[in-house]
Amino acid sequence: MFNTSYSLEQLNAMGQNNMLDHLGIEFVELTSDYLVAKMPVDHRTKQPMGLLHGGASVVLAESMGSIASFLSLPDPTKQTAVGVEINANHLKSAKSGFVYGKCKPIKIGRNIQVWETQITNEAGDLICVSRLTTMVIDIK
């Protein structure tokens, strides 16, 4: 399903000098079935009460779903994928360490794709569940 010819180094290079870099998001595993990334819970990703900011969780989920969508394209030189909708359910807080997102497809269609990312803390507790819809468009 995923184009696994890309290395983790290449995926992480795509995140340099943008939001992923700013928040410390790092891709750590790529298989043919899922993508895993981690994000620190620190001054960049916490809200004023000292908890992981829900928006940071959404950035992690959208970034992962977007990269997953890119990796599922038959020819990324002719098409790309853009996000059209995202939602997130924040289920538990995190105060420190890292959170890990695991992104899997719900539907990979010709024009529309739906991705689910489950975000857990270091103990494996579910922190957030997010669903991203992407649209595949031709590059002109």
Q: What is the DSSP string of 87-127?
A: EEEE-S---SSEEEEEEEEEEE-SSEEEEEEEEEETT--EE
Give residue 14's pLDDT: 94
Q: Is the pLDDT of residue 111 over 90?
A: yes
If you average pLDDT over residues 100-121, what whole number do you get? 97
Say whether 62 is catalytic.
yes
Q: Which of 62, 85, 116, 122 is catalytic?
A: 62
pLDDT tens digits along 26-85? 999 999 999 999 999 999 999 999 999 999 999 999 999 999 999 999 888 999 999 999
Q: What percentage of the chain has pLDDT greater than the value 70?
A: 100
